[in-house]
Structure formats: structure tokens, C-alpha cells
A and B are shown apart, each in its own frame.
Chain A
Amino acid sequence: EAQLVESGGGLVQPGGSLRLSCAASGFTVSSNHMRWVRQAPGKGLEWVSVLFSGGSSYYADSVKGRFSISRDISKNTLFLQMNSLRAGDTAVYYCAREDRFGGNLRGFDYWGQGTLVTVSS
């Protein structure tokens, strides 16, 4: 059974940095499209970043230039480096696998439990 487990969230001051981790089991991170999605308290889902299986990455405009997505093949783990954090970045951060079959994208079939990032002084 595939599983994703996030860690690294916490309380950080504005302007600070955090590194989130997402450890995968049951499948290979580097063979899949992996995404970060966040949810501010009481709000909806917001896509943050994607790392495609081929290695290219993209970011939402709201985090471009501040966040960086990466993976460690040996640890089968996805990361999100978050710099210059703002109050508006406060949210639960989820990592998710994007299912694929042939050329079709079939939604995010596995999600982590989420890790809370709070940006406050």
C-alpha cells in the first residue's frame, strides 16, 4: 500500500525558512509526478508546486522565487524548501502523487496527512 508521510512543519517568524519533507513508501517518487498542495485555515485547496518525473518543476505565482521543490532518490523523499515566509503562507501543506495512465492524468491518488506551517511573530 502506497503511503506519504510529511514532516518539517512548525512555527516560523516572517522572513524565515522551513524545509518540508514527504517520505514515500510503496512507490518510487522519481517515477511519478509529485505535487505540493496547501490549505490555509478554513480555506480551500491551493496548488503550490510540482516536480515532474522527468525533473522539471513549476510553481504557483504566489510562491515563485521563494519556494523550491526537490527530491532525494536514495531516500525516496520529496522536499519543499520555503524561504522568505510570509503570514499568507500559513497553511497545512500536503504532498500528493499525481496518478497517470498512458498520457492521461488521473488526479491525486495518494496524499500525505499534512503538516502545519504557521508564519507569525
Chain B
Amino acid sequence: QSVLTQPPSVSGAPGQRVTISCTGSSSNIGASYDVHWYQQLPGTAPKLLIYGNNNRPSGVPDRFSGSKSGTSASLAITGLQAEDEADYYCQSYDSSPSGAHVVFGGGTKLTVL
């Protein structure tokens, strides 16, 4: 059971827009910790896709965008392409007595129809 909740799967046709939600609580996303998103293509290491809720690292297409509100965050992908088929993970931090620990969502598999 992941601390951050993501839908197990989403799908969309080429050219469409899809969104992936990431729901947390008052001890993580709602505590004003930033949310980051990763894309993991089959058989490869995760790749940073969005950092600081809504910022794209150099080289990430502007088809990818992030947002955060309250205890949730979302990743939006517009103009869906076949190469976007991958697993997507959100990541934030959760308060604990020893400090803030990294937490991940359970991951969402994106299928391009």
C-alpha cells in the first residue's frame, strides 16, 4: 500500500490528452512538499519528467505538465504519442519524527491505444 495513491492504469488514443492523479494527505503533499514525476520505459531506469510540481527538466517536451492542489497532484500529457507508453510515478516527501522521508506513488501504466 503506497503512501501516495495513483490509478493503476490509464489509456488514450494517439493525439488525445490524458491525466494521471496522485493523491496524498496532510502529512505529505498537503504539508506543502513538492511533487515530482518520473517516466519509466520498459526495462529502463526511471527518468525525471516533472520537478517541483510543474517544472520540466531540459529536454522534456512541453506536452508534459504538472499541477498540484491541496493534497493532490496531477500529470497531464497532451498530444499522446506511442512512445509515451510507460509507467509513471509521482514522488513527494512525508513527515516523520526523524524528518521528511521520500514516498512514491504505486505507479500508473499508460497504454496508448
Contacts and interface: CB of A to CB of B under 8 A. Distances in A.
A108 B98 CA distance: 21
A111 interface: yes
B107 A44 contact: yes
A46 B104 contact: yes
B51 interface: yes
Given A44-B2, A45-B89, A106 B51 contact: yes
Interface residues of B, number: 25
A108 B38 contact: yes
Given A44-B2, A45-B107, A107 B91 contact: yes
Given A44-B106, A45-B89, A108 B46 contact: yes
B85 interface: no
Contacts of B34: 104-106
A45 B45 contact: no
B9 to A, nearest CB: 13
Given A106-B52, A107-B51, A112-B45, A47 B38 contact: no
A109 B57 contact: yes
Nearest to B91: A107
A27 interface: no
A47 B46 contact: no
Contacts of B102: 35, 37, 47, 50
Interface of B: 2, 34, 36, 38, 45-48, 50-52, 55, 57, 89, 91, 93, 98-99, 101-107
Interface of A: 35, 37, 44-47, 50, 58, 60, 94, 99, 104-109, 111-114
